[in-house]
Chain A
Amino acid sequence: MGAAVAFEGVVALLDRFPALAGADLSVQAGEMVCLRGPNGAGKSTLLRACAGLVPVRGERAEVLGFDLKAQRRSVRPHVGLLGHRSPLYGDLRVDDQLRHCADVHRAGVPEVSAAIERFALGGRLGEVAIRRLSEGQQRRVALACLTIARPRLWLLDEPHAGLDTVSRDALDELLADAVEAGATVMFATHETDRSRVAAARQVMLAGGRVEPTAPVSQTNGPTDVA
């Protein structure tokens, strides 16, 4: 399988601030990558750039074979992004939101029921307005929407934050399943629990660039998590 992400010297400006200052990153299809780094290192922007939502320049910027410099828009339908904030309509009920996601992504009833079951959103919870849910519950709804979308590249910004233990396990399982099904996963996290992220290749970001590290093979070996 080819490269899911091929970045060379990518610069991304956010209102003149170079959030990415020449990032080099290569991710193989079917890989799981964990982005780490201090606050403001450029993790979120890297994820948004991969989703084709941020204009980029640089030598090479390709995601799933699409050239982001030329056709940023074409990559979008193949990508699922969960940002800092959950992209949900606060006034909708959970079942309205899930139905909307399913319709946009042309998913059928089985996919929706599977997502509801995975994140325990059935029963009474389905009739609650999203605005009334707790942060963690909203996160679960957003993850369910992502599951319904079945993207080829999953981009998640601190997906573990705010989730309870059961949901974290469900999330880890979901990501493992996605990789198994051939999708690529990239997530940014401050998670310190090594067992949760051990399966992923660690990539360090600082100052809008990727730290040069010795090439780590995909053998889940111990890597620097600190």
Chain B
Amino acid sequence: MIETPEPDLREQAQRAGSLSMTGSVATRVLGVVAIAAVGVMALLALWISPADAVQGDAVRLMYVHVPSIWVAYGGFVLTAFASARVLWRTRSGVGGTYGVIADRQARRWDRVAGAAAELGVLFTALTLVTGSLWGKVTWGTYWQWDARLTTTVLLFVTYLGYLALRRLPAESRARARRSAVMALIAVVNLPIVHYSVDWWRTLHQEASLNLEPGGDRNITGEMYWTLLYSWATFTVVALWIGIHRYRVLRLEELAEEASLEELLAQRRDEQAAGR
């Protein structure tokens, strides 16, 4: 069927076209700041800060390792908070104007949960990689069944599953609710995992590892400031990526909504064709 598209459809297509960018002035500024900050951080971490007396240059891994787990935990906490909001918003069937508003807010929080979990998984992976590299240098082995590492890898796999669950095609509200429940279970389970693994290792290890990456050793001077600075840098970078991911998820939903009108029109054409 060759037909000129209806004006409102064309308008929507144009609107969708103009929305195909996820950048805005604010995020561009944020992006420039983030990139510049990473550059400065490389300078600080690789040249200006001193090597460690015991660990040598390996200590420089700390400036990536410690901030990434901080960002990862922040992402998971945000996922849990947003998921609680999703469930709170859809706790009962609500109709009318209030229902529409609640639905919109639930969708917004669902996107926040999704974007934050992606960040969390990404930075957990970064933590694990830098951690095992650091382990190879200081302990001579990539992996130790250390409590913190074990907990982190379980956390990683749990949220990998969460993202897999989100990817399955389903009605958007049902999916939002289902993944929100899973995110909350994961958070409730986290202290249990941590506690049991901790107990398991402390009971079975003769000597606990004091060389633990980012452990409780006192860090002072330039190393301290560099760590603090990398922590701030990672937060900015994560915010930047997170905002873009949020907007991509929003665009996906908008594209779905826009295609809905088209699908409805097509569906109605079936009726005309059938007659």
Direct contact of A and B (CB under 8 A): yes
Query: Footprint of B on A, CB under 8 Å?
Result: 11, 13-18, 21-22, 38, 40-41, 55, 67, 69-73, 206-209, 211
User: Does A209 lie within 8 Å of B271, measured CB to CB?
Assistant: yes
Indicate if B204 sits at the interface (CB-CB under 8 A). Answer: no
CA distance A96 to B79 in the complex (A): 45
Question: Chain A contacts of B267 at CB under 8 A?
Answer: 18, 21, 207-208
The answer to whether B260 and A71 touch across the interface, beta carbons within 8 angstroms, is no
Does any Cβ of A come within 8 Å of B221's Cβ? no
* Residues A207 and B268 in contact, CB atoms below 8 Å apart: yes
A71 partner residues in chain B, CB cutoff 8 A:
93, 95
The answer on a CB contact under 8 Å between A73 and B263 is: no
Is the CB–CB distance between A73 and B268 below 8 Å? no
Contacts A16-B256, A16-B260, A18-B260; is A208 near B268 (CB within 8 Å)?
Answer: yes
In this assembly, does B269 line the interface, its C-beta being within 8 Å of a C-beta of chain A? yes
Q: Are A15 and B264 in contact (CB under 8 A)?
A: no
- Given the complex of chains A and B, what is the CA–CA distance between A13 and B173 in angstroms? 12
Does B53 interact with chain A (Cβ within 8 Å)? no
Q: Counting CB contacts under 8 A, is B3 at the interface?
A: no
User: Does B216 interact with chain A (Cβ within 8 Å)?
Assistant: no
- Is B93 a contact of A22 with CB atoms below 8 Å? no
Given contacts A22-B268, A206-B271, A208-B271, contact A17 B95 (CB under 8 A): no
Chain B residue, CB-CB nearest to A21? B267
Q: Using Cβ atoms and an 8 Å threshold, which residues of chain A touch B140?
A: none
Query: Closest B-chain residue to A42, C-beta based?
Result: B267
A-B contact count (CB 8 A): 60
A208 with B270: CB separation less than 8 A: yes
> Is B256 a contact partner of A207 (Cβ separation < 8 A)?
no
Q: Closest approach, in angstroms, between the C-beta of A150 and any C-beta of chain B?
A: 25
B217 at the interface (CB under 8 A from A): no
Q: Name 12 extra pairs, CB < 8 A, besides A16-B260, A72-B93.
A: A11-B264, A15-B170, A15-B171, A16-B259, A17-B263, A67-B95, A69-B99, A70-B93, A71-B93, A206-B271, A206-B274, A209-B271
CB-CB nearest in chain A for B259: A16
**Chain A proximity mask over B231-275: 1 for CB below 8 Å, otherwise 0:** 000000000000000000000000010011001100111111111
A38-B274 contact, Cβ under 8 Å, with A15-B169, A72-B93: yes
Q: Which 6 A-B pairs have the closest CB atoms?
A: A70-B95, A207-B271, A207-B270, A21-B267, A206-B271, A206-B274
B96 at the interface (CB under 8 A from A): yes
Residue of B nearest to A15 (CB): B169
Known: A15-B170, A70-B96. A207 touches B263 (CB 8 A): no
B94 interface contact, C-beta 8 A: yes
Contact: A206 with B275, CB < 8 Å?
Answer: yes
- Point out the residues of chain B lying under 8 angstroms from A22, CB to CB: 264, 268
Tell whether, in the assembled complex, residue B272 and residue A207 are in contact, meaning their CB atoms are under 8 Å apart.
Answer: yes
Once the chains bind, are B170 and A18 in contact (CB under 8 Å)?
no
CB-defined contacts of B93 to chain A, threshold 8 Å:
70-73
B100 to chain A, nearest CB (A): 10
Docked Cα-Cα span, A197 to B38, in Å, equals 75
Question: Which residues on the B side are within 8 Å of A40 (C-beta)?
Answer: 270
Residue of A nearest to B99 (CB): A70
Q: A70-B94, A70-B95 are in contact. Are A18 and B270 (CB under 8 A)?
A: no
Q: Once the chains bind, are A207 and B99 in contact (CB under 8 Å)?
A: no
Q: Is the CB of A13 within 8 A of B171?
A: yes
Q: Which residues of B contact A11 (CB under 8 A)?
A: 264
Chain B residues within an 8 Å CB radius of A207: 267-274
